[in-house]
Amino acid sequence: MRVAVTGAATGIGAATAAKLKQAGAHVVAFDIAEPQLVDRWIAVDLADPASIRAAADAADGPFDALINVAGLPPREGLSAKVLAVNYLGLVAFTEAMLATLAPGAAIVNVASRAGAHWRDNIDEVRALMAVTDVAALPGFVAAHGIDHVRAYNLSKEAVIVWSMAQCESLIARDVRINTVSPAAVTTGILDDFTAAFGDRIAKNVARAGRPGTAEEIADVICFLAGPESGWLKGIDVTVDGGMTAMAQADMLGFADDRAAAP
């Protein structure tokens, strides 16, 4: 199995690359920083369309899976760059890599539980999806009043929606696509999320018992990248230790029912 992985130098991407290597896969890593324990590293800056084109041109396909993990956390002052890397860069890189994918290949895009409200924000998601030029993003951010937290959420909402929208056309090419949406995960950028989302993360982690690990998310990614998940197409898999289920139970009033039980 030959797999292309973005963001393989750190965090979930590094854990995914390690698990793939343990399973005997040939891993080609695409990252701005050099990763460890992969078969080949191709440098790429996902905020730079020219860098994306050069990296895809250098790729030695065919690949049985493309796994897009690379992304930026919500950091103040980086709204436009978060959108550039997390959404426009992911889309541009995926489109540039399509010609290298083997028949039956899988694409796995890492989104986030923070993107779960795409239905509520579909107009803004559509507006972002209409942006095709990275240079237009600062103006987009200003026009929509987008701060770094909203930029992150919007980028992940758009990844989920775009991936669903590609499902049918990719099936026609014998390629399938899915997304994975982790919640709080113990990686080097967890502090960024804690700073951005504050008490919400602490409360959710407390209810779930602990944050997830990069290895746990990697397990799900590797499953979606492999043939065992061949009938899963166009879905978003939320990996959050029960956080979504508990939030939905609260919305349905089951928390009140539990409190009232003798």
pLDDT of residue 121: 98
Phi, psi of 151 (to 5 degrees): -60, -45
Nearest to 233 by CA among 224, 244, 243, 223: 224
Between 201 and 214, name the one with better pLDDT.
214
> Residue 256: pLDDT above 70?
no
- Output the average pLDDT for the chain: 95
* Tens-digit pLDDT profile for residues 158-179: 999 999 999 999 999 999 999 9
pLDDT of residue 167: 98
Query: Which position among 93, 152, 162, 197 bears the catalytic label?
Result: 152
- The answer to whether 40 and 29 have CB atoms below 8 angstroms apart is yes
> Residue 259: pLDDT above 80?
no
* Tens-digit pLDDT profile for residues 226-251: 999 999 999 999 999 999 999 999 99
> Residue 212: pLDDT above 90?
yes
Task: Identify whether 152 is a catalytic site residue.
Answer: yes
> Residue 26: pLDDT above 80?
yes
* Tens-digit pLDDT profile for residues 32-90: 999 999 999 999 999 999 999 999 999 999 999 999 999 999 999 999 999 999 999 99
* Tens-digit pLDDT profile for residues 74-120: 999 999 999 999 999 999 999 999 999 999 999 999 999 999 999 99
- The answer to whether 154 and 88 have CB atoms below 8 angstroms apart is no
- The answer to whether 210 and 191 have CB atoms below 8 angstroms apart is no
Residue 200 neighbours by CB under 8 Å, 6+ apart: none
Categorise residue 261: left if φ over 0, alpha if ψ from -120 to 50, beta otherwise.
beta
pLDDT of residue 261: 52
Residue spans per domain, the chain = 2-260
pLDDT of residue 195: 82
Q: Span 217-227, mean pLDDT?
A: 98
Which residues face 42 on adjacent strands? 30
Q: Which sign, positive or negative, has the C-alpha torsion 51, 54, 57, 62? A: negative
Helix (H, G, I), strand (E, B) or coil at 99: helix
Helix (H, G, I), strand (E, B) or coil at 230: coil
CATH number of 2-260: 3.40.50.720
pLDDT of residue 146: 98
DSSP annotation of 248: H
Exposure b/e, 148-182, CB count within 10 A at least 16 = b? bbbbbbbbbbbbbbbbbebeeebeeeebbbbbbbb
Instruction: Report the predicted TM-score, pTM, of the whole model to 2 decimal places.
Output: 0.94
pLDDT bucket at 257, cuts 50 / 70 / 90: low
